Structure 1
Amino acid sequence: MRFFSLLLLAGSLAAMPVHAADAQNWLSRLLKAERQQSFQGIFVYERNGSFSTHAIWHQAGQNGESRERLLRLDGAPVEVVRVDGRLQCGSSILADQLIEGAGPWPPRPLEPQRLAEWYEIRMVGESRVAGRAAVVLTILPRDQYRYGFELHLDNETALPLKSLLLNEKGLLLERLQFTQLDTSTPLTKDKLEPGPTCRPVEILQAASPRQGAWRSEWLPPGFALRSMHTQPSPVSGETITYLMYGDGLARFSVFIEPLHSPLVEDARSQLGPTVAVSKRMSTADGDMMVTVIGEVPLGTAERIALSMRASEEQADR
């Protein structure tokens, strides 16, 4: 789940000389807890100096299935219910339709052995969060193309009690921190059922484009294409190509849509850890807008956008 993937680097921790295998063992325990541990609690989310408080109920089944409900407790009500990682309903401010498999907070695989190629994983100390003892892991990028992570894992269950995300300058981009966590009280059915404002979400059946219809001539080391779909734009009706890339921890998406207006210009923005970079591209089929969105540094997203190319087959049509 996305919450368990918001881990990050902090520069003020006192390092402890612990073997890297111990840190990888904790990541493996985290993966197991994510599949098998039920819990409920309250956490605080911080981004761009803005805070919000959320309740979460997570029920894990014996065969890896799960049901989860999240509810924002302050500001405009926001509610999400997911079953086995798929969005079932969302509050009215969420999109009514989503590409299949591309909804908010889709699960991402954590592969400790593979991550070690692109991140340095360390145990750096101990902490106490929400009244529970925790160990502190840092996951430090080995290059400038991705962010690092810090994760405070519960001693008893290995669930993440606190996560921080900082940019390359050490500035905080995102924080999630439990203030209450209960792993022993059984979850009641009413806590997992959606409220009246949680509207069913229609998952669009996305089509598969021709193999290799679009490609990136440059990717950060370790990133690979995880999925590719096409679907009609709900605004223009034009076909949008959607590609998702990941390194096992970080990820970004690329959207490619035909353009018919000379007034649309390149753009770039960042909200907390999420960047969006749009670049106009000329192809044999006309102008396209390439947009990269993800939790990667702005320079990484810009380089990826500039590297996108149509296949030779598509360019020759």
Structure 2
Amino acid sequence: MRVIPLFVVLGGWLSMPAFAAEADLMMQRLADAEKKQSYQGTFVYERNGSFSSHAVWQLVDGQQSRERLLQLDGPAAEVVILNGKIQCATEDMASQVREATPWRQHQLEPEALSKWYSFQVIGESRVAGRPTVALAVRPRDQHRYGFELHLDRETSLPLKSLLLDESGQLLERFQFTHFTPGSVEPADVEGGADCEPVSLAVEQKELTSTKWRSDWLPDGFQLIDSDVRPSPASKEPVTWLSYSDGIARVSVFIEPLDGAVVEDARSQMGPTVAVSKRISTAGGDVMVTVIGEIPLGTAERIALSMRAGADQASQ
């Protein structure tokens, strides 16, 4: 489940070893919980001042996990996912889905993440009528955002998550308004009549070899995927590189300009930033665009670090 936070300051209480140990335990329970439990509920999603509401069902049967997400307001939209792969989606949703849906997060690895984030229990709360433990996930540097998670006492699943920028401002909110573990029927996770099959290349594959690499990445970020595809507009080859630290994810797109006149740009909508930089190379100018949920300064530094040549250096 995608994670997101609003920090509660409790002073010296946070430094007590017993609570640090409990935080590590809660993170491990969260990492283990999601793929093993059936549940259903409704949640609200807030981003850039806009709200939407959704219903979700997950049915776990042995090694198989099937999920259905249904948008409850605005244009009707739904998606059905089987073992992490999208099976069907309505037309509006199909244009948005990629290798993972925007409301989910890839498998957590708490031991690795502890190098880049600190975990701290900050108290107890109540979400959707259920007792929860509030957990702060704080970055150890200025190159990534922090989270506050409210984990269900019974299931360890996140019933509320908040994403904060480097100054502590709320960027994104995910919060259940109703949550019921267990008791999900097969019919609950079947797509409706408008849910059309979606063909996406989500299976595991070797990284596509590219001539581009980054000379600098924040500690912990590694290359997790890459590809080269023709641009829909110019048909020129566009290089795509994807990096992650285990929570945050960044995409880099590199497109030849062929003499086109374009300006550098930077923008931010909620937690998502987009930075475009014109870079000169021996083969001509290219436009490097970095998109991800990281601070603007970090995105700009990554864009300016892109180089043509050797394979991606290990971090």
Report the TM-score when normalising by structure 1: 0.88
Paired residue for 1:21?
21
Aligned to 2:250: 252
Question: CA deviation digits over 1:143-175, x for unaligned, max 9?
Answer: 110001100000001010100011112111000
Question: Identity over the aligned pairs, expressed in percent?
Answer: 55
**Structure 2 residue corresponding to 1:150, chosen from 148, 170, 176:** 148
Secondary structure of 2:200's match? strand
What code does the residue aligned with 1:201 have? V
Q: Distance in 2 between matches of 1:57 and 1:116?
A: 30
What's the counterpart of residue 78 of structure 1?
77
Provide structure 1 residue ranges, at least 5 long, that are not aligned to the other structure.
none
| Aligned mate of 2:212, from 190, 211, 214 | 214
What per-residue deviation string (whole Å, max 9, x for no partner) do you get for residues 164-220 of structure 1? 0111121110000000001132x223321112332322325899543x621111101
Aligned counterparts of 1:59 and 1:281: Cα–Cα separation in 2: 48
Name the CA shift for 1:163/1:103 in 2 (closer, same or farther; >3 Å).
closer
Q: Structure 2: how far apart are the matches of 1:175 and 1:84?
A: 25
Q: Deviations over 1:50-73 (max 9, x none)?
A: 11110001122322x311111110
1:110 is aligned, of 93, 108, 111, to 108
Q: Distance in 2 between matches of 1:45 and 1:256?
A: 31
Measured at CA, do residues 307 and 251 of structure 1 come closer, stay the same or move farther in structure 2, by a change above 3 Å? same
Q: Superposition pairs for residues 1-317 of structure 1, below 5 Å?
A: 4-12=1-9, 15=13, 17=16, 18-63=18-63, 65-96=64-95, 101=99, 104=102, 107-185=105-183, 187-204=184-201, 208-210=207-209, 213-311=211-309
In the alignment, is the contact (CA less than 8 A) between 1:250 and 1:296 conserved in 2? yes
State the SS of the aligned residue for 1:218: coil
Q: Distance in 1 between matches of 2:52 and 2:96?
A: 25
Distance 1:76 1:44 in 2: 15
SS state at 2:219 partner:
coil
CA distance in 1, matches of 2:233, 2:97: 14
Structure 2: unaligned runs, 5 residues or longer? none
For the residues of structure 1 that align with 2:162 and 2:2, how far apart are their CA atoms?
A: 10
Question: How far, CA to CA, are the matches of 1:68 and 1:182 in structure 2?
Answer: 15
Q: Distance in 2 between matches of 1:312 and 1:29?
A: 40
Contact kept, 8 Å, 1:97 with 1:201, in 2: the verdict is: no
- Pick closer, same or farther for the CA change 1:35–1:97 going to 2, 3 Å: closer
**Post-superposition shift, 1:262?**
2.4
Offset of residue 106 of structure 1 = 6.6
How far apart are 1:237 and its partner, in Å? 2.4
Aligned counterparts of 2:191 and 2:73: Cα–Cα separation in 1: 17
What amino acid sits opposite 1:140 in the alignment?
A: R
RMSD: 2.3
Amino acid at match of 2:57: W
CA deviation after TM superposition for structure 1 residue 244, in Å? 1.1
- TM-score, scaled to structure 2: 0.89
C-alpha displacement at 1:242, in angstroms? 1.4
Aligned length: 306
Give how far 1:249 is off. 1.3
Provide the C-alpha distance between the structure 1 equivalents of 2:198 and 2:225, rounded to a whole number of angstroms.
21
Distance of 1:28 and 1:295 partners within structure 2: 23
How many angstroms apart in 2 are the aligned matches of 1:223 and 1:149? 18
**How far did residue 110 of structure 1 move?**
1.2
- Contact 1:280/1:290, CA 8 A, preserved across alignment: yes
